[in-house]
Amino acid sequence: MLLGTDISSGSLSSNPIYLTAVGDTLYFQANDGTNGAELWKSDGTKTGTVMVKDIRSGSSYSSPTDLTAVDNTLYFQADDGTNGKELWKSDGTSTGTVMVKDIHSSSDSTPQELVAVGNTLYFSADDGTNGRELWKSDGTSSGTVMVKDIRPGSSYSHPSDLTAVGSTLYFYANDGTNGKELWKSDGTSSGTVMVKNIRSGGASSSPTHLTAAGIMLYFQADDGTNGKELWMSDGTVSGTVLVKDINPSSGESDPDSLTAVDNALYFRADDGTNGRELWMTSPTNGSTPVITVMVKDINSGSGDGDTEYLTAFGNTLYFSADDGTNGKELWKSNGTTAGTMMVKDIYSGSSSSSPEYLTAIGNTLYFRASDGTNGGELWMSDGTSGGTVLVKDIRPGILSSSPYDFTATSSTFYFQANDGTNGGELWCAELALGSSGGMSINHAISYI
């Protein structure tokens, strides 16, 4: 059964965002119209959907963001109106929702890029003395410390794109000498080092789109010779290499949307001939790439396939794409040209259903799409045309309920939607065990 909770009564939207699962509890930011944007939680029932704590009392907003689970604890950034934007944590109770540390005692430390590596939280923050640097926390004030002042003094190294590969944290930072380059950390100052100066000297290679695939890190970088191309790293200087100069003649391939499916990596790139299409690199023995190829010229010729929302679902990649004939529709790929195909022409003809927010939960893929009759609504797919169906027209007719932020706990599927009466509110559905052993929603739908 799909249920909705009207946190902000009437047609006003509570706008639940940053939906984050911690165990069987969903946490999110919402505004009930009285207390401002605060931290809420839900167990999938109306009575169990409550504000955790009015961190900034009254109608002012604490605006919790960057919600991140580490074991059974939720970490986030919030502003209590006294200490500025600082690091907080919650165990789901009011008394257990506390500021971890006032990192910048006279202003905002603005913790960002929160990521878990094992049972440690890493993030960037500005303590007012050392600039924005790499920090870590074990949930205690004394255990919340700067890992390293990468750019000594008050200047920022600005660690960004924090990404875990096993027990190692990767990111890019600027030490003031080598420009923006790839770094790694084991949580110690001595173990926080630049991996490689990809673009030698003070110029930046500007690594971005850091993505783990198996034991390897993949990213986009510019070595000053080949332009923005795909790179990989095993954490060593010699093992940090250009995967392939995909666009060798006319510039750079600018790879993005890096997505791991098992040990393979899919991404979008432009080889200068076929437009921006779907590519894949496949390793052997978990490390050495043996093949980096365009999977398929979806929009044949120089046109772009316009692939978006690349999402791993089992051992298959799903995405939206436009082949130039059927509009933007749901596609899937097993890494071969023959196995890369449109799943269903949801909005038949040349019009686009524009699948968005693809999310794999159990044995089902959920997404938003419009079939031209029902507007942008919740759809589901098992990877077959017949199994790709509208779950429910939440906002009846051509208008859209615009569902998004699909998230699941172990027993419940959540998202935000607007039924046209109650505004943008939290919706949920129980997950049921399917015949194949996977989880899918029990989609007899109603509103609480």
Band (435; pLDDT cuts 50, 70, 90)? very low
Residue 143's domain is classified under what CATH number? 2.130.10
In a domain, 268, yes or no: yes
The rounded distance, in Å, linking the Cα atoms of 277 and 20 is 32
In a domain, 417, yes or no: no
In a domain, 423, yes or no: no
In a domain, 395, yes or no: no
Q: What is the mean pLDDT of the chain?
A: 92
In a domain, 12, yes or no: no
In a domain, 404, yes or no: no
Band (6; pLDDT cuts 50, 70, 90)? low
Nearest to 63 by CA among 127, 18, 6, 115: 18
Band (288; pLDDT cuts 50, 70, 90)? low
Query: Residues 33, 425: contact at Cβ < 8 Å?
Result: no
The rounded distance, in Å, linking the Cα atoms of 93 and 100 is 15
Band (448; pLDDT cuts 50, 70, 90)? very low
Sheet containing 17-22: give its strands across.
17-22, 25-31, 37-42, 50-53
Residue 201, pLDDT score: 87
Question: What's this model's pTM, rounded to 2 decimal places?
Answer: 0.93
- Write out pLDDT tens, residues 35-57: 999 999 999 988 999 999 999 99
In a domain, 75, yes or no: yes
Nearest to 229 by CA among 260, 250, 215: 250
Sheet containing 356-361: give its strands across.
356-361, 364-370, 376-381, 389-392
Tell me the β-bridge partners of 307: none
Domain span at 106: 18-356
Report the domain count for the chain.
1
In sequence order, what are the residues at sequence separation of 6 or more whose Cβ sits closer than 8 angstroms to the Cβ of residue 47? none
In a domain, 206, yes or no: yes
